[in-house]
């Protein structure tokens, strides 16, 4: 069987999206404390698909587990959730979660090219035991329970298994195919066989029986007993198909048979019946007999909705998007080079100017579209947190609700990847250290006994703001300060503001819990969160009120590829300062400058003093102005850090394409001096982009 | 020529036998930097500019002249003369190299010419004259001058 890369990719993609869907489904069902019939159908459908495609890829562990769960949900579908006592339901949810985790870990193994689990018996037994409890038959042996409802269902073998019963006047040339004994999942094998025959014989030229092999797992038993029947219009087609049948895996034997005109009459009657009833029947399963088609239509609605969504999406490799982005960036630069060409100076070119303006707006458009391609909603990341909160609230026995807000906020794909871990860490922290251990504690504090964590995303003009708000204990300043002193981060006897103390939480080597727990505090702390977020140009701030909870805010620039910058000059050099960092630009006189005892300079803006960084001195640049009267001050801020940057003059505002500096120069650690990248200006010259946060850090 | 005097006292007995029986020739670009002739395999040479606008980068060693815009790509430029601890004189030439996929430019005094050098002509540098970026030397075919063969990948390793 061909297992090309495309097939593998499609399989993995399908598995990932189905598992996510499943996660979602179970989480919301768990909240409702039951499975709706729709949910049961959906789970049944998903398990069926997982089973089918895993079988096709020959991933047996996945196939087997999915098969058992499918069987179990078949029973649940029959008996409905009402038949399952309340006290068993939470075990059921756990079991499904466990199987999702199992699927995930197997998928991970596939992705990293490791062998799949061989030893799935323990888990299998667990499922079987549970399935037996549900079916309530006390069905002694576990493997038999697998067949569960099916076994009862296929009692009356159709028409004594006489081959002629399956012949048809329209398709007189039949072939009966038997699969290897114990091959399992005969219905799927039959479907694969049909597909193989389709390769060589036109679809209209043959049919098969049972006709519903694909949808009805019960047909497997029929196929075991009676074989799978292929019927062709011509004998030639049948001969052609033989080779396909021969080459299909697990075919034990096949034999041709022909339609005999004599029994045509009785048959046509039987013929009408068989597809509908032969494969199934028997009272207990009678409803089950009807079920598949009915279910199909019930499931059809959500399923078709998914299908519609899928069809309007294509997946494109990130590298192609990067290539597109690069070209678009070049166009933006070139456009500026053409329309602002010095050759045009002083010329009166009405038509050109008009066309140039049009071009400008089109390139802007193009840029927006190209950028939007890389944007993905944060919902994927947010959804994952549901599961974490669910697992942890169970494990720690702290009932907690996770509320998601603004899930559809979109950010650059690379940013989503880099904030996923920080968010997870903060949510875990909130569960571990924030939410109170005992309900009584919460009640005593006048809070809802159920804890609450809000995960909210919203977008301002230039950045995405993600807040993780818990209503737990909040930060105990005293405890944090003591810890900070113990860790040598704080000086005993010094006065620290509430804000200073919260900042200790973000420092390397700080962890408020002395014990390492399963979920957080594995030697890494909020400092990792901070450095991860800063690596994408974002900031982290914490606010907290004792007893009320804690809020962690991540601010991340919307996109890093293109930004609005202010071009400034210092001596011969040109720098770009991100507009989003600039609070105000103003002129000052030497008279307004305040000196400190170490020749540091400050200036008072409104009610606060801010230190001044002279770009010229900071970067040891030759030339440039020294007197404040001749230059200009940029009041900049990043996160909580605010200061003034002194430069020679403003050149102007410009949308710039951010390019990384070559690794060769980055290796000299210039990033920590606030040199974060560069951009190519309209005239082809290079401007260096300054990172305000790092200048502040380096200066202090 | 100072470089010739410098190496005239070289003891040619250091010539190793394994250099002798390989006779395949490869092309080298000869350039002059601070009075010394260097040769670099043309496999890594992309282009040569007689004039470049280099944007200085603060906070890097002095021998890094800065970066240039090479058709939209930002390429670092090293002042080869400063790198070897000599002072640049006059308007430099820039040689843009592609070393194992990394683009980098070097500033030199002048670009001389292209020559074929056979492997057997390449001799080792005497230990007391060794430099991490020079991996051999030879007499220019048909001439009397001597060139130092530059080890291109060593240029990149300098910053690591």
Give the mean pLDDT of A320-345: 81
Give the mean pLDDT of A447-471: 86
pLDDT at A172 over 60: yes
pLDDT at A113 over 60: yes
A665 with B61: Cβ contact below 8 A: no
Maximum average pLDDT range among A169-183, A246-260, A299-313, A469-483: A469-483
Which one is predicted more confidently, A368 or A402? A402
Give the mean pLDDT of A229-234: 86
Comparing C-alpha atoms, which of A466, A445, A469, A444 is closest to residue A457? A466
A686 with B69: Cβ contact below 8 A: yes
pLDDT classification of A550: cutoffs 50, 70, 90: very high
Shortest alpha-carbon distance between residue A669 and chain B (Å): 8
pLDDT classification of B23: cutoffs 50, 70, 90: low
Comparing C-alpha atoms, which of B44, B146, B61, B62 is closest to residue B105? B44
Maximum average pLDDT range among A316-325, A438-447, A453-462: A438-447
A620 with B58: Cβ contact below 8 A: yes
pLDDT at A265 over 60: no
- Quick one: pLDDT at residue A445? 87
CA A254, chain centre distance (Å)? 47
Q: What are phi and psi of A384, to 5 degrees?
A: -60, -30
- Domain presence at residue B33: yes
pLDDT classification of B159: cutoffs 50, 70, 90: low
- Quick one: pLDDT at residue A307? 41
pLDDT in tens, A475-522: 888 888 888 888 888 888 888 888 888 888 888 777 655 444 444 444
pLDDT at A311 over 80: no
Query: CA of A112: how far to CAs of A62, A108, A629, in Å?
Result: 16, 6, 63
Residue of B nearest to A619 (CA): B58
- A-chain residues near B156 (CB < 8 A): 664
Give the mean pLDDT of B113-121: 87
Question: Distance between terminal CA atoms of chain B?
Answer: 34
pLDDT above 90 covers a percentage of chain A that reads 12
Both tokens of B75, joined, read: 């390429």
- Domain presence at residue B19: no
A573 with B55: Cβ contact below 8 A: yes
pLDDT at A150 over 70: no
pLDDT at A160 over 50: no
CATH architecture of A5-151: Up-down Bundle (1.20)
Which DSSP category does A431 fall into? I
The CATH number of domain A376-557, selected from 3.30.450.40, 3.30.565.10, 3.30.465.10, 1.10.10.10: 3.30.565.10
pLDDT at A124 over 80: yes
- A-chain residues near B55 (CB < 8 A): 573-574, 678, 685-688
pLDDT at A200 over 90: no
- Quick one: pLDDT at residue A312? 64
- Quick one: pLDDT at residue A561? 61
pLDDT at A281 over 60: no
Which CATH topology does A158-280 take?
Alpha-Beta Plaits (3.30.70)
Give the mean pLDDT of A119-142: 72
- Quick one: pLDDT at residue A293? 42
Contacts of A94 by beta carbon, 8 Å cutoff, 6+ apart: none
- Domain presence at residue B6: yes
- Quick one: pLDDT at residue A262? 43
- Quick one: pLDDT at residue B10? 42
Residue of B nearest to A687 (CA): B55
- Quick one: pLDDT at residue B9? 39
**B39, B150 Cβ separation under 8 angstroms:** yes
Maximum average pLDDT range among A66-75, A337-346, B56-65: B56-65
Q: For residue B89, give its domain range.
A: 2-14+24-157
pLDDT in tens, A565-609: 899 999 989 999 998 889 999 999 888 899 888 888 999 988 889
Shortest alpha-carbon distance between residue B59 and chain A (Å): 6
- Quick one: pLDDT at residue A559? 59
- Quick one: pLDDT at residue A162? 56
Residues of B with CB under 8 A from a CB of A: 53, 55-61, 64, 67-69, 72, 74-76, 102-104, 156, 159-160
Query: CA of A667: how far to CAs of A72, A235, B60, B64, in Å?
Result: 58, 74, 9, 12
Of A433-442, A559-568, B109-118, B141-150, which gets the smallest average pLDDT? Answer: A559-568
Which one is predicted more confidently, A383 or B1? A383
pLDDT classification of B40: cutoffs 50, 70, 90: very high
Shortest alpha-carbon distance between residue A574 and chain B (Å): 9
Q: How many residues does chain A have?
A: 700
- Quick one: pLDDT at residue A646? 95
pLDDT classification of B160: cutoffs 50, 70, 90: low
Contacts of A251 by beta carbon, 8 Å cutoff, 6+ apart: A177, A178, A179, A180, A193, A245
pLDDT in tens, A51-72: 888 887 888 888 888 888 888 8
Give the mean pLDDT of A274-284: 41
Tokens 């000869």 found at: B30
- Quick one: pLDDT at residue A156? 35
What is the torsional sign of CA B58, B61, B65, B70? negative
Domain count, chain B: 1
Give the mean pLDDT of A243-254: 77
Domain definitions of chain A by residue range: 5-151, 158-280, 318-373, 376-557, 562-699
Of A150-164, A234-248, A315-329, A356-370, which gets the smallest average pLDDT? Answer: A150-164
A675 with B58: Cβ contact below 8 A: yes
- Quick one: pLDDT at residue A611? 93
Q: Smallest Cβ distance to A686: which of B55, B103, B156?
A: B55
- Quick one: pLDDT at residue A139? 42
- Domain presence at residue B120: yes
Q: Smallest Cβ distance to A685: which of B55, B75, B159?
A: B55
Tokens 């991100």 found at: A578
Of A37-51, A145-159, A346-360, A561-575, which gets the smallest average pLDDT? Answer: A145-159
Give the mean pLDDT of A130-153: 51
Q: What is the CATH number of the domain that holds B107?
A: 2.40.50.180
- Dihedral (Cα; B49, B52, B56, B62), 10-degree rounding: 50
pLDDT in tens, A385-438: 888 898 888 888 888 999 999 888 888 787 787 888 889 888 988 888 888 888
Which one is predicted more confidently, A187 or A138? A187
Which one is predicted more confidently, A162 or A544? A544
Comparing C-alpha atoms, which of B91, B70, B84, B66 is closest to residue B148? B84
**B26, B116 Cβ separation under 8 angstroms:** yes
- Quick one: pLDDT at residue A60? 85
> Looking at the DSSP assignment, which residues form a beta bridge with residue B40?
B29
- A-chain residues near B154 (CB < 8 A): none
- Quick one: pLDDT at residue B100? 85
Strand residues in B20-159 grouped as ranges (E): 25-33, 36-41, 45-49, 64-70, 73-79, 93-99, 102-108, 110-118, 134-139, 146-150
Of A146-160, A393-407, A544-558, which gets the smallest average pLDDT? Answer: A146-160
A670 with B57: Cβ contact below 8 A: yes
pLDDT in tens, A607-662: 889 999 999 999 999 888 999 999 999 999 887 789 999 999 999 888 787 787 88
Which CATH topology does A562-699 take?
SH3 type barrels. (2.30.30)
Which one is predicted more confidently, A185 or A548? A548
Which one is predicted more confidently, A278 or A580? A580
Q: In the Cβ-directed half-sphere of A510, how many Cα atoms lie within 13 Å?
A: 23
What is the rounded distance in angstroms from the CA atom of residue A296 to the CA atom of residue A201?
28
pLDDT in tens, A686-700: 999 998 888 988 887
Compute the mean pLDDT over every residue in chain A, rounded to the nearest whole number. 78
- Domain presence at residue B146: yes
- Quick one: pLDDT at residue A283? 41
pLDDT above 70 covers a percentage of chain A that reads 83
The string over A134-170, giving b where at least 16 C-beta atoms fall within 10 Å of a residue's C-beta and e elsewhere, is: bbeeebeeeeebbbbbbbbbbeeebbeeeebbbbbee
Which one is predicted more confidently, A335 or B126? B126
- Quick one: pLDDT at residue A142? 38
- B-chain residues near A573 (CB < 8 A): 55-56, 58
> Looking at the DSSP assignment, which residues form a beta bridge with residue B32?
B37, B110
What pTM, to 2 d.p., does this model score? 0.47
């Amino acid at each position: 069987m061909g297992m090309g890369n495309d097939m593998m990719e499609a399989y993995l993609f399908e598995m990932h999206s189905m598992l996510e869907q499943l996660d979602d489904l179970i989480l919301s069902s768990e909240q409702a404390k039951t499975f709706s019939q729709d949910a049961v159908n959906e789970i049944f459908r998903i398990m069926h698909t997982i089973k089918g495609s895993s079988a096709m890829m020959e991933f047996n562990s996945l196939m087997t587990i999915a098969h058992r769960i499918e069987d179990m949900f078949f029973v649940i579908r029959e008996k409905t959730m009402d038949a399952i006592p309340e006290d068993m339901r939470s075990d059921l949810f756990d079991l499904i979660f466990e199987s999702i985790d199992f699927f995930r870990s197997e998928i991970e193994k596939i992705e990293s090219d490791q062998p799949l689990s061989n030893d799935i018996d323990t888990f299998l037994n667990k499922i079987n035991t549970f399935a037996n409890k549900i079916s309530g038959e006390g069905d002694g042996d576990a493997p038999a329970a697998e067949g569960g409802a099916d076994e009862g269902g296929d009692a009356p073998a159709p028409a004594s298994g006489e081959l002629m019963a399956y012949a048809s006047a329209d398709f007189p040339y039949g072939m009966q195919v038997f699969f290897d004994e114990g091959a399992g999942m005969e219905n799927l094998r039959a479907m694969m066989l049909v597909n193989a025959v389709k390769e060589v014989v036109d679809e209209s030229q043959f049919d098969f029986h049972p006709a519903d092999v694909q949808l009805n797992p019960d047909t497997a038993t029929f196929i075991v007993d009676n074989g799978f029947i292929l019927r062709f219009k011509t004998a030639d087609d049948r001969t052609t198909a033989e080779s396909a049948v021969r080459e299909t895996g697990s075919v034990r034997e096949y034999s041709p048979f022909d339609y005999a005109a004599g029994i045509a009459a009785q048959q046509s009657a039987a013929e009408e019946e068989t597809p509908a009833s032969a494969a199934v029947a028997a009272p207990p399963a009678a409803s089950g007999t009807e079920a598949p088609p009915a279910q199909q239509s019930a499931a059809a609605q959500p399923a078709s909705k998914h299908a519609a969504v899928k069809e309007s999406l294509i997946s494109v490799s990130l590298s192609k998007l990067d290539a597109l982005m690069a070209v678009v960036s070049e166009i933006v630069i070139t456009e500026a080079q053409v329309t602002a060409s010095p050759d045009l100076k002083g010329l009166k070119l009405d038509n050109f100017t008009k066309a140039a303006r049009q071009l400008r707006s089109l390139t802007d458009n193009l840029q927006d579209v190209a950028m939007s391609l890389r944007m993905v909603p944060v919902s994927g990341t947010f959804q994952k947190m549901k599961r974490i909160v669910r697992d942890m609230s169970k494990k720690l026995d702290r009932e907690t609700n996770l509320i998601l807000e603004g899930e559809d906020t979109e950010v650059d794909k690379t940013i989503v990847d880099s904030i996923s871990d920080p968010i997870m860490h903060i949510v875990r922290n909130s569960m571990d250290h924030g939410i109170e251990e005992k309900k009584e504690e919460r009640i005593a504090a006048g809070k809802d006994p159920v804890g609450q964590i809000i995960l909210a995303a919203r977008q301002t003009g230039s950045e995405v703001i993600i807040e993780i708000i818990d209503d737990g204990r909040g930060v105990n300043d005293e405890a944090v300060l003591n810890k900070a002193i113990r860790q040598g981060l704080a000086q005993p006897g010094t006065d620290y503001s509430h804000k200073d103390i919260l900042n200790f939480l973000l420092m390397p080597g700080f962890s408020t819990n002395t014990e390492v727990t399963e979920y957080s505090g594995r030697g890494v702390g909020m400092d990792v969160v901070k450095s991860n977020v800063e690596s994408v140009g974002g900031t982290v701030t914490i606010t907290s009120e004792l007893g009320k909870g804690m809020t962690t805010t991540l601010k991340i620039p919307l996109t890093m590829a293109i930004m609005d910058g202010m071009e400034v000059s210092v001596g011969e050099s040109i720098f770009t300062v991100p507009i989003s960092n600039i609070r105000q630009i103003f002129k000052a006189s030497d008279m307004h400058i305040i000196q400190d005892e170490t020749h540091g300079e400050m200036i008072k803006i409104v009610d606060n003093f801010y230190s001044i960084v002279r770009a010229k001195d900071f970067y040891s640049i030759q030339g440039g102005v020294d007197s404040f009267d001749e230059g200009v001050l940029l009041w900049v801020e990043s996160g909580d850090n605010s200061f003034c940057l002194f430069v020679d003059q403003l050149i102007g505002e410009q949308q710039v394409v951010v390019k990384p500096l070559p690794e060769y120069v980055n290796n000299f650690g210039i990033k920590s001096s606030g040199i974060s990248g560069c951009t190519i200006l309209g005239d082809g010259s290079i401007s260096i982009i300054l990172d305000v946060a790092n200048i502040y850090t380096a200066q202090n | 020529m100072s470089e010739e005097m410098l190496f005239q006292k070289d003891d040619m007995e250091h010539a190793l036998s394994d250099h002798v029986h390989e006779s395949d020739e490869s092309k080298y670009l000869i350039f002059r930097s601070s009075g010394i002739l260097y040769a670099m395999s043309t496999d890594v040479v992309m282009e040569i500019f007689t004039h470049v606008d280099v944007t200085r980068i603060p906070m890097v060693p002095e021998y890094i002249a800065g970066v240039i815009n090479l058709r939209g790509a930002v390429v670092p430029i090293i002042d080869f003369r400063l790198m070897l601890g000599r002072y640049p004189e006059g308007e430099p030439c820039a040689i843009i190299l592609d070393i194992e996929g990394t683009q980098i430019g070097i500033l030199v005094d002048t670009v001389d010419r292209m020559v074929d050098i056979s492997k057997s002509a390449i001799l080792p540098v005497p230990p007391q004259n060794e430099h991490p970026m020079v991996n051999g030397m030879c007499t220019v075919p048909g001439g009397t001058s001597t060139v130092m063969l530059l080890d291109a990948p060593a240029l990149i390793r300098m910053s690591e």
